[in-house]
Amino acid sequence: MQLTQIHTLTARLTLLSGLHIGAGDNEMHIGGTDNPVLKHPITHRPYLPGSSLKGKMRSLLEWRSGAVQPEALGWRDYQRAEGAQKAAVFDILRLFGVSGSDQLDEAQARELGPTRLAFWDCDLSEDWVKRVDEANQMFTEVKSENRINRITGVAEHPRNTERVPAGASFDFRLSLKVLDGDQDLLPMVLAGLRLIELDSLGGSGSRGYGKVRFDDLKLDGEPIALPADPFKA
C-alpha cells in the first residue's frame, strides 16, 4: 500500500444564515449570553472547528448510505452490510476512519488503510475581518429567543444565543489522501459537501441556523463543482 497523492480542496464557506457552534461554556457572565459561540483563544474571533465539519459530513453520508446507527459506523457495520450499502460503508470508513473501540487485526487494518480525509479548522476570511473592522462592527450577533405557551400565547423562558451572522465567510480546506488501488473517493467527498449545503452546520438547523454555501471551490487550485443531486453522485 503506497501513498500516491494528496489532493487539497479549498473554498470560501459563506454563511447564508446565522451559525452557532457552541463553546461549551455553561457559566453565565455579567452582560454575556446563555450560549456563546466557539472563539479562538488568542484572536477571540469565531472559527469553525474541523471536527464539526467532519462530524456533520460523516453523519449525512451515513444517513445517505441507509446504514446509519446511533454511533458512527464501524468495522462490524461494514461486515454486516450487503451489496451497494456494503461498498458505501467501506468508502465512509476509508474516508473518515474507525473509532478507537474498533479493534482491527492486521489484515483488516491493511484492507482499510489509513484515514483518507483530514479537515482543517476554518478561520474567518481576511476580507470579511477587514469589512467588519472598517465598519466598527462585531464578529457575532445575539439572537433573543423564547418559547410560546400554546394555551396562553405568552412568551416564556427567554434566552440569548450568540451567532456568527449571515454574510460572514470562512476559509475552508480539507486534504484527501490517495493510495494505490483506491477507487475514486472524490465523488463521495463532493456529495458530502453538497449535503451540508442542503442541510446545515452547527446547532438549531431546524430553526434556520447554519445554512451555508461553498463558494469558489477548487481541487488542487483548479475550479470544481459540487453535484446538483448528491444522491446520484
d(CA 13, CA 49): 13
pLDDT in the model for residue 30: 46
Cell, residue 176: 484527501
Q: Which of 233, 202, 193, 227 is nearest to 11 (CA)?
A: 193
d(CA 114, CA 177): 9
pLDDT in the model for residue 149: 79
Cell, residue 209: 441556523
pLDDT in the model for residue 32: 53
Largest CA-CA distance found in the chain, in angstroms, rounded? 67
pLDDT tens digit sequence for 9-26: 999 999 999 999 987 654
pLDDT < 50 regions, the chain: 26-30
pLDDT in the model for residue 102: 80
Q: Which of 226, 171, 195, 173 is nearest to 6 (CA)?
A: 173
Task: Please tell me the pTM assigned to this model.
Answer: 0.90
d(CA 135, CA 84): 53
d(CA 58, CA 62): 6
- Are 154 and 148 contacting, i.e. CB atoms less than 8 angstroms apart? yes
pLDDT in the model for residue 233: 73
Looking up cell 452582560, which residue turns up?
31
CA separation (Å) from 32 to 18, 23, 141, 160, 161? 18, 13, 12, 9, 10
**DSSP assignment letter at 205:** G
**CB burial readout 77-105, b (16+ within 10 A) else e:** bbeebeeeebebbbbbbbbbbbeeebeee
pLDDT in the model for residue 48: 96
* Size of the chain, expressed as the number of residues it contains: 233
